[in-house]
Amino acid sequence: MKKRLLLAILTLATFLLACFGPRYVDPLLGWHPRHFSDWAFSLHRAAWWLGLPMLMLAGWYGWRRVLPELGWRASLLTGLLMGLGCTLPMLLGYALLFPMAAVAPAVLASHLLRGAVWAGLSEETLFRGFLFGQFYRRVRLPWLLTVVVESGIFATGHLYQSHNLASALGVLAITFGGGVWFGWLYKSWQNLWVPACMHIFMNGWWMLFDVADTVVGSVGANVCRALTVLLSVVATRWYLRRQAARPAAEPVLRMAPSVA
């Protein structure tokens, strides 16, 4: 019990430092990540959002356990297929409903790197792979409590996109729901690449076309997004039924044992 409590404290402290540390450290150093080159931005995001959790996990479990603990040892191909396949309604729908983003190709590539690739990879690693993974699988907090806490923090981190009370409520509702959904995908597949690739492709299609300035979007945009969520739920339910039907003698990949 004491060991799990210590793990919970270290996990939460590392998460808060990784998530909110740059807001206070960067101004002291005169850094403005929005003005960074893509390489500098990538290094900055990797150091805070990936590096700190990896260091904490290495200190607790040893370096060999870091990638499995974050969910990175699972199948990347499965994540790519789920991400691309389930987000096709967004790609096709946005191509019909909205014009392409009116920016130069180099600018668009930079936006996709930062707002899609790095946003999806770093947020899913820190929120789901690290915070959710440690609290639910190792500290053994109840699933509902864990997902509500991490989704709540995830949602408030997107409030910068709002400009009034109505838009703030919309941003909170959508991002909180997204956090719960991503957490469920990770729990169901035991594969971080599934929510990470879903996150990357969803952000990518949203940015590739001139959909909206915030995550709230229009009715048409949200219908396409709802179809993506529905497809992912159907695919996940099929996967879970297939796993449950496997012969008892067939080996099934399990998570490492919980902390005693």
Q: What is the pLDDT of residue 178?
A: 77
CB atoms inside a 10 Å sphere around CB 230: 12
Reduced to 3 states, what is the DSSP secondary structure of residue 209? strand
Dig out the tokens for 15 from the structure: 């998460």
Task: Look up residue 38 and give its amino acid.
Answer: D
**135 backbone dihedrals φ, ψ, rounded to 5°:** -65, -40
Q: What CA–CA distance (Å, rounded) separates 72 from 50?
A: 12
Reduced to 3 states, what is the DSSP secondary structure of residue 100? strand
Mean pLDDT in runs of 10 for the chain (260 residues)? 92 94 92 91 96 97 95 95 97 94 92 95 94 92 82 66 59 75 93 96 94 76 93 96 74 45
Alpha carbon distances (Å) from 116 to 20, 109, 207, 208: 20, 10, 8, 10
Whole-model pTM? 0.87
pLDDT per position as a tens digit, 76-135:
999 999 999 999 999 999 999 999 998 899 999 999 999 999 999 999 999 999 999 999
Contact 215, 161 (CB under 8 A): yes
Q: What is the pLDDT of residue 215?
A: 67
